[in-house]
Structure 1
Amino acid sequence: MKSEFVEQVQLLMEIQQIKHNEQLFGKSNYMWLCSKKVSMIWMSTRDEYRIRQVLNKITPDQQVQIMKQLLTWLDDNPLADVLKIPEVALNLIHNFITNNLIHEANFSRMNSFRNSLRRFSVKSNKILAVPTELGAGDKPRRSVTFNDVPIIYRISK
């Protein structure tokens, strides 16, 4: 199934290249000749290797869903670069892998996690700074108020 997915991505790249050629040169009677010639657009071996590696982590049904999402992305972005297609396919695969990890994660300790968050957020558990007795009461308090018309105060030390 991996090789089929990679071949489908390669076919999408070739179709996108034909669309670009049609937009550049217009539709002519010789367009069939352009489709018969060998395409010079190839997926890089790096992208192909990365796609093959991550395809182990998803099911064939998810591969079909990814291909559908890739097709809708191409419909939404008709002027997208041909070399962008493997990157988008990788991003979609990584999104599916992340969703799989989230759904498979064991959240049995979620309640204790929430309780610990509540315990840490309670005001009584916070460490309050103890004011020193070295004249903390001697200094006047400084405050700022905001009005519609700014008033500038001079603050002296």
Structure 2
Amino acid sequence: MEDEVDRLVTAWKRERPDLDVTPMQVLSRITRLALHLDRARREAFADHGLETSDFDVLSALRRSGEPYQLSPGQLVQQTLVTSGTMTHRVDRLVGKGLVDRLPDPSDRRGVLVRLTATGRSSVDGAFTALLAREQDLLADLDPSATAQVVDALRTLSLPFDGS
């Protein structure tokens, strides 16, 4: 069984036999899978009127638990975007009626972003659709292979999580 990465690696080995292309065996596959996953996510979210960036904010709020609210700084930290980008995202979500901005009772100058009932319904539906699509993507892996992939990807990602 051969995939597109196998063909790329073979071509590079032929053209540049002086280089070790072993990293491509892993990282090119991760890149290609990420593109397929991104497409599946966009489709799942679009079915619920959301963009990926909308889902990132809404899901951070949903995961926070009752009362489903976070400060913009906490949202920035969880979604790895700039404060300016977060302001734009929150503005868009307020406009869609998916979140509200509320005064922060512990900081007179601060605000909190709270998930609305409509926002909760949207993120819950999008999350359910996303999981169904992701389960389809992983359908060919048995539980032990899935566990091995999880462990290997965790090992690769841990150094980035600290930065």
TM-score using structure 1 length = 0.30
TM-score using structure 2 length = 0.29
Between structures 1 and 2, the one with greater helix share: 2
Instruction: Specify which structure has the bigger relative contact order, considering alpha-carbon pairs within 8 angstroms and separated by 6 or more residues.
Output: 1
Between structures 1 and 2, the one with greater strand share: 2
